[in-house]
Amino acid sequence: MFRPALALALSALPAVAGEITSPADPAHLGAVDILAARVTIDGRTAVFQMTLSGTAGATDLAPAGALAGAPVHAYVWPTSLDPAAVGFEPATGILALVATAHPDFDDTPLYDEDADGSLVNDGWKWHSHWVVLTPTPDCGEGALAVRDIPAGATPRLPATWPGLPLLIDSPGYSPVLSGAEITLRVPLPAVTGLESASFDGVTAALRVNADLHTPLLCVTDVFDVASGELSLPGKVN
């Protein structure tokens, strides 16, 4: 729910050069209503942040009970970077950093986000990915999907690729959700050319194909776009 007092308080914060700001929309759930998106450089770390009109991560995500048809909620920073900047095959789509949660499956096989001793049961915890997005008509008119890897193909992939037939990486950056903000800190040496990149901010829902066929992971709902039109006007500061 939109909270006017919170939005008023946030509007008084000093603007960050290069950030994208967006007016609050009472029609949106506060957890997906973007007020600002920014990427800043702090020493040898890039800091990706998004400010919402409500509480970050407070989305209602009912599990499907299986991988097939599983829902995904995501905070997304699409960038102008070539996917090769983080180890994917060059010129394969839109490279985006994502903070995501999905209760039905785990796609970070190297990490135990909930510290319970198991590496395969914590997809419900907010975690990070690099993904390559591409227009995919089979997902709907004008829709995007995480790019599939065709059977038998051997594209260049990051070392922490989780083994799914998708252009997706699980780099292990831990999202910090605090009040109205979500933050991801990324080591600069892991991303080539970020300092000169542009970006946008998006809140979205995705869904795994119910038949587990391609396209495997479609964007099904775009809740909010910081720029209003996915024009990537943000500049890294």
pLDDT tens for the chain, residues 1 to 237 = 334 434 433 443 446 779 999 999 999 999 999 999 999 999 999 999 999 999 999 987 888 888 899 999 999 999 999 999 999 999 999 999 999 998 877 776 655 566 666 545 555 578 999 999 999 999 999 999 999 999 999 999 999 999 999 999 999 999 999 999 999 999 999 999 999 999 999 999 999 999 888 899 999 999 999 999 999 999 998
In which residue are the tokens 């990427």 written?
39
- Residue 77, burial from CB neighbour count under 10 angstroms (0-12, 13-18, 19+): buried
pTM of the model: 0.89
Under a CB-based contact definition with an 8 Å cutoff, are residues 23 and 17 in contact?
Answer: no
